[in-house]
Structure formats: C-alpha cells, structure tokens
Amino acid sequence: MKKRYISFMNQILIFCSLIVVLPFTIIIFFYTLETLKKADKDYQDILKKANIQVETGVSAIISNAERLSYLHIVNDSFSELLRHKHDVYDWDFLKDNKVVVNIVRDAVLLNPDIYNVVIINSAGNVYDSNFNYYYWKNMYQDLPMWGEMAKNSPEKRFIDIRYSSENVPEALMLVKPMEDIERGKTLGIIGITISFKAIREILTNIVLDGEQLIVYNKSGVPVYSCSGKNVEKQEDSQGKIWKCLNIAEMEEDSAVKTFAIGKDTYIGGIQKLNQLGWTVVTYTDRSYVRKPYTQNIRVFFIIAVLITVFDLGLAYLFIRRLNFSIHGLCQAMEKSGENGIPETLFLEKREFKTEIDMLIHSYNNVICRLKKSMEQSVELQMNEQRMEFRMLQAQINPHFLYNTFNLISSIAGMNGIDSICKITVSISEMFRYSIQENLIVQLQDELREINNYVTIQTIRFKDRLYADFDVEEEVLKVPIPIFLLQPLVENAIIHGLEPKAESGYINIVAYMEDDFVEILIRDNGVGIPQDKLCQIIQSLEKEQIESISMQGHSSIGIKNVNQRIKAYYGAEYGLHLESRVNVGTTISIRLPKNLTKKYG
C-alpha cells in the first residue's frame, strides 16, 4: 500500500496559513470580546446616569410638593385657622377659607407643577384652593379614606394616580396628615394634586432609541410605561420583567442587571423612588446595544480576511517557485541512488546563492563523506578479518606457556627445588586465570589470583614482604569484574614496597555493610607525595583515562580500575585513595552487593 504524504509545498502553505490565520483569529476573537464588553459597560454607565437623573428629578418635584404639608408649622396663623370648627359654611368659614387659600396660593405661586391643594381639618371642614367644590368632589371624594391610609403608613403619605379618559396619567395625588406639634394632635389632612406632566418629562428624557421604560408600584403592578423610537411596547412581558429582576427582594435602591426573557437577553437599569414607593425600570435588548459595535467588528473582520488572502497569495507564489527547485532536487536524488552509490549533483554557478543551492552543496558534501565512509568500512572489515586470524594464532601461546610451566613445576618438584615449583605453579595458575573467557568472576577467584601473584613476589623479596587477607565468608561469592584488584596490589608492591629498604606488608580486608561490599587494600610502603596524590585524585575524577607521570611510573592501572568500576556500577562508585609519605597507602573500594551492569 502506497503511503500518503503531504508535499513540501502544501506543508509550507499549511504552516503559513496557521501563521497568518491563527493570529488573526485570536485577535478577532479577543477584539470581539473586548468590544462587546465595552458596549455593555458603556450602556450600563448610561443606565446608571439615567437612574441618578430620575431619582434627582422626581425627588425634587415630590419634595417641593411636600413642603405644603409643613405650612402650619412655619405659619402660626395658618395653624390657628385649621383648629377652627365650622358646623356650617357660613361667613366665618368663607373668611377662614379665603385666608387659607391665599396662604396656599402664595406657597405654590412659584411651583407650576401643582394643580390644586385641598385641606380637610380635624373638624371635617374642607378648604379648596380653587374654590371648586364640584372639581374637589370628583377628584377628592376619597380624600378622607386616603388620609387614614396615610396616617397608618410608615412613610406618613399616600400616593394615587389619576388617569384621563385616554388612560394616560394626568395627575399624581399626594395625601399627608398635618400634625399639630404643640398639642400632639392631627390638625387634618392635605391633598396635593401634582401634574404628572413634569414627572413624564423626566421619565421621557432618559428613554433613548431602542429603550423601554416601566414604572411599578410596591406590588409590582405597572402604573406607567413609555418606549423610545423603533420599539414597540411589550405589555405582556412587563410582569415577567418584575420577576426576572427580583425587584421585590432587592435591597439596594439603584442597580443595573442583565436578564433574559425566553431567548432574548436584556440590560436593565433599576431605580427605586422611595418617596413614591415606585420602581423605575429602563431596559433594552442586548443585541440592539451591541449593534453599532458589531458593525465595526464586521468591518474589521472583512479587512482581516482581505489581508489574510493577500498574504496567502504572496506566500503561494513564493512557495510555488521554491517548490520547483526542491522537486528537481528530489528527482535528482532519486535517480542518483538507483544504481548503487549516489552521485554528486551539478551546482550552477550563480552570483547570489539561495538556500536550495546551499542544500545541493550540503548534499554533495554528504555524498563525498558517504563514499569515504564506505571505503573505510570495507577497509575496517578487512582489518577485522586479519585481526581474528592473528588472535587465533595468539591463542596458542598462552596454552603453550601454561603447559610449559606445568612441565617445569613437575621437574622442579622431582628435583626438590620448592621455590621454582611454587613460582611455576603460581605462574601457570595466573596464565590459566588470564586466558579464561569469563569476564565476571567471584571475589574468591580474584583473591586466589592475588595470592598466586603475592606468592611469586614473596619468593622474590625473600623475608621483606608479608601478605594478610581478612575477608568475610559472605562476600566471597560476590561477583566482580576480572582483574579488578590485581592491578592495585601490583601497584602497592612495585611503587610502595619495592623502594622501601625494610620489610613491608599488604593487608586486604573485605566485609559486608548493609547492601554494599567494602574492600580495603593497605600497605606500609613509602607512600605518595601530597602533590602527586592530588594529581591522581583529580585524574580519577576525569572521564577519560590519562597517564600521569609519577617518579618514572604511571598511575594508569589505578585510573583504569576506577573507570571500570564506574562503567559497571555507575558514576557514584569508584576508588578512594589515602596516602602519607613513609607511612603507607590505603585504597578503598565500595561496590554494590550485586553486579548491576553486564560487561560487553
């Protein structure tokens, strides 16, 4: 089955598309989010300002009207007149009514928002500022009942709206009790007719295009509503808005909230008018608020798409031209490899070299190195064959020497020459140990090899050399690499004990500590000078094995053992060297109980 692949040109086009499209997409996404957030925030700020405007304007109208309920406090004669009781509307009542009317008219002279004022004292006498009993009878026939409701309410006021025949709010009825502060009684009640036109102007001025305004009373019943341009009233949703905004449980007087009715989302401003017990809600569809901003987003998106298409078009033309050169290089490489070793490609001489020319030049260098490597590989194979043949020949010599030393040992034993017999037996054992195929041995095998070596050196030094082995039985079976300890013992004898005129000894200690094996090789030789000791310790810390000259001999054996330990057990293991001049040298080796790495 033929594998599918994406051409170099398509890969670069996809890559360029991601480079161009992805950033634009991210930018548009975040730009859209930030723009819509800004649209909502700006409109919320408008609603907050509208709430302040409504609260300030309506409060001013109601406060100006409520001042009339305090006339009896600031005017003693007015208060005294209200204490009079008239059983019939005689000449005395007319005089009192004229005084009351004049006082009230003077108070409302500069307030065009007040239509009429009616006062009923505690005796039931009615004082009408318009002297229009018929009008009062129709507009204020419920005034006594409203007065009782005002007395019993916490706010000490009663509000009622009077509508015209077209069901349009015409007047706002404000009723308050007039308290006699001196006697602690109620002088009567005052009914003030406030023009709803002034309140309607305040509410209408804050309604913008696309907005709707609803005024609710304490029970959540709409008492007035109006709409801006291009908006139809939705009277069926007025009750839903009260519930969605949860106005009945709202503690703050002013707020801006987002709410949903069905699938539509709205932003509404809420302002409570505590003097009237009303709640004014101004709201609009969220999509209408965002409409101007979405138009800007659409224009930005179109510009981004045009820029992206233009950039991708330029990238396509450039990549298409580059692809011709790469495709030609691929074909040349395939043809050059059909007949074995690939051939170098012809590189045209140009004044300005492109990356493709550099690629062809690099390809030619690779081909040249490949040819040279193949030639070296052939030569290496031939050398390996020659080496194997020589190694087969060289294997005869150790076996021949081993058999020869056994023969010498037998002849020495027959002639009673014990020293020659011991030397030849030890040497033959050492040769047999050295030519074995196993590269991992037990500690007891390594100690046996060291014992053969020490035996030879003991005969050589006569009575000047002693060896002592203190090895726990449980560590004898521990596996270690072959010839791990022998080079260290050899260094101790040759470099430590041989230059010494007196007798010397070598002490080998091995014991188990937790899961580790501790091996110590001590001698009482001439020791190592401090500067040379520092050089050896530094060389042991290096990764490569390097020779360090030390009085005509080399420490390559110590470093080789150190490197082998690190190779087998890890970098945390190795040799630890301590030495003092004319006192001796101690080499400590710490190994894990089990071998963690196989040789080879």
List, for residues 488-522, the tens digit of each pLDDT value. Answer: 998 888 888 888 888 888 999 999 988 889 999 99
Tell me which amino acid residue 376 is.
Q
**Mean pLDDT throughout 389-415?**
54
pLDDT, tens only, 167-189: 778 888 889 998 887 777 888 99
**Mean pLDDT throughout 225-230?**
81
Q: Give the separation between CA 186 and CA 502, rounded to whole angstroms.
A: 135
Provide the pLDDT for residue 522.
94
Provide the pLDDT for residue 579.
92
pLDDT for 453 beyond 60: yes
Distance of CA 469 to the CA centre of its chain: 63
**Mean pLDDT throughout 545-557?**
46
Return the DSSP state at 439. S
Provide the pLDDT for residue 508.
93
Provide the pLDDT for residue 451.
86
pLDDT for 339 beyond 60: no
Q: Which residue has the tokens 């007087």?
A: 253
**Tokens coding 576:** 């630890």
Provide the pLDDT for residue 281.
92
Which of 130-134, 421-425, 533-537 is predicted least confidently?
A: 130-134
pLDDT for 64 beyond 80: yes
pLDDT, tens only, 253-311: 899 988 888 888 889 999 998 888 889 999 888 888 888 788 877 887 888 788 878 87
pLDDT band at 587 (very low <50, low <70, confident <90, very high): very high
pLDDT band at 374 (very low <50, low <70, confident <90, very high): confident
Q: Give the separation between CA 192 and CA 116, rounded to whole angstroms.
A: 6
Per the DSSP assignment, residues forming a β-bridge with 161 are 172
Q: Give the separation between CA 175 and CA 191, rounded to whole angstroms.
A: 4
pLDDT for 325 beyond 90: no
**Helices and strands (H and E) in the chain: how many:** 16, 19
pLDDT for 214 beyond 80: yes
First-to-final CA distance of the chain: 41
Which of 458-472, 541-555, 582-596 is predicted least confidently?
A: 541-555
Better-predicted residue by pLDDT, 561 or 393: 561
Better-predicted residue by pLDDT, 590 or 593: 590
**Mean pLDDT throughout 576-594?**
90
Which of 36-50, 82-96, 111-125, 337-351 is predicted least confidently?
A: 337-351
pLDDT for 433 beyond 60: yes
Burial class (CB in 10 A: 0-12, 13-18, 19+), 505: middle
Mean pLDDT of the chain: 78
Provide the pLDDT for residue 379.
66
pLDDT for 347 beyond 60: no
Q: Give the separation between CA 153 and CA 172, rounded to whole angstroms.
A: 18
3-state SS assignment for residue 382: helix
pTM of the model: 0.50
